[in-house]
Amino acid sequence: MSKENTQDTLFGDKDITKKSKSEENKNKGKVAPNNKLNNLTGSEWKFSTKSVINKPYPVNLQHKLRSQHGGQKPPDLCSDLIRTFTKKNNKVLDPFGGVGGTLLGATLANRRAVGIEIENKWIEIYKEVCQLEKLREEEFINGDSKIELDKLRKNSFDFVLTDIPYWNIDKLKKTRSKTARKSKLSQFNEDELQTKEEWLADMVEIFTKTHRVLKDDKYMGVFIGDIYRDSKYHLLGAELAKELEDTGLWTLKANLIWYDVSKLLHVYGYPSAFVPSMIHQNILILRKTIV
Ligand SMILES: C[S@@+](CC[C@H](N)C(=O)[O-])C[C@H]1O[C@@H](n2cnc3c(N)ncnc32)[C@H](O)[C@@H]1O
């Protein structure tokens, strides 16, 4: 049994009805002619619906250079998600581009992409990676998504894949205490301090704008980590999903858990309190509601 099949048995087989199983067998090794979503075969499709992603992703494509950005995502993970939600030559948008995890993922999957990033230094790193790896450069706009999204054509993208800027309470800690630890994450959001409500409102504003440029019925994937701060766990993924559903523009379809096997464990709270060592992120999967 291949590794892929072993994982299939562990995560998904039980839920497959007889009807869908025979459907899947029929399409094994070929793309169903009525497949509207992607270019996956039946068995690839089954594998792509796993709610936990525990695949180890390669340290590749100038990983060290891209790691200057504390929030970079593995291009191969982005590529897997893009292959699940698009067909070849479809167009992907990332309104928070960073050093281009989504853009590189799109190139690997033979899709086109447009990124928007407020800090030009991250775009420069993306361009350097493309040159060093001899990869095609996707379009990368330097600017604020709140402004740039309005300039893009309505209904022009097939998938949005993005990784949102963190709710920046690291800065709050720094201003309160000189001894506060400098977080790697604070490098990539130069925004003023925000309350959680202000941060959520910002995200809703931007995702209302991405709704306009995404084609009807298409999907959006949003990387978002929950956080433990001020002695309290914040279910940020769930909070953002609720805010987005409340707009009436998006329907939540899944919360994929990316278990990042490369993350090191840290000891927090020992020996008196339980504090999680966060080794996972949520990937919210939302579908555009036609309004
Ligand atoms: C979590 S990082 C994205 C990392 C990316 N997935 C990668 O692989 O490099 C979020 C990015 O959004 C950018 N950003 C924050 N606010 C923005 C805005 N209003 N418009 C465009 N980019 C913004 C930040 O500078 C940061 O690089």
Assess contact for 11 and 55: CB atoms under 8 A: no
Residue 189 lies in a domain: no
Assess contact for 52 and 88: CB atoms under 8 A: no
- Could you tell me the CATH number of the domain that includes residue 257? 3.40.50.150
CA–chain centroid gap for 236, Å, is: 14
Q: Is 71 in the pocket of ligand 1 (CB under 6 A)?
A: yes
Residue 175 lies in a domain: no
Q: Is 96 in the pocket of ligand 1 (CB under 6 A)?
A: yes
Residue 129 lies in a domain: yes
Three-state secondary-structure class, residue 42: helix
Give the chain's domain count.
Answer: 1
Taking the chain (291 residues) in runs of 10, the rounded mean pLDDT of each run is 36 42 63 96 95 95 97 97 97 98 98 98 98 98 98 98 81 40 43 82 97 98 94 96 98 98 91 95 97 88
Residue 171 lies in a domain: no
What is the layout of strands, in order, in the sheet containing 139-142? Answer: 52-53, 250-259, 280-288, 214-224, 157-163, 91-94, 112-117, 139-142
How high is the pLDDT of residue 178? 39
pTM: 0.86
Query: What is the three-state SS of 190-255?
Result: CCCCCCHHHHHHHHHHHHHHHHHHEEEEEEEEEEECCEEECCEEECHHHHHHHHHHHCCCEEEEEE
Instruction: Compute the radius of gyration of the chain from its Cα atoms.
Output: 20
Q: Is 148 in the pocket of ligand 1 (CB under 6 A)?
A: no
DSSP 3-state percent helix, strand, coil across the chain (nearest 5)? 40, 20, 40
How high is the pLDDT of residue 229? 86
Which residue is closest in CA terms to ligand 1's atom 5? 98
Residue 210 lies in a domain: yes
Residue 85 lies in a domain: yes
Range of the domain at 105: 35-166+196-288
Q: CB-based contacts of 285: which residues, under 8 Å, 6+ apart?
A: 219, 220, 221, 252, 253, 254, 255, 256
Distance 72 CA to ligand 1 centre (A): 9
Distance 259 CA to ligand 1 centre (A): 21
Six token digits for residue 200: 């959520």
Determine the length of the chain: 291
Which residue is closest in CA terms to ligand 1's atom 27? 98
Residue 135 lies in a domain: yes
How high is the pLDDT of residue 22? 60
Residue 190 lies in a domain: no
Distance 160 CA to ligand 1 centre (A): 14
Distance 185 CA to ligand 1 centre (A): 11
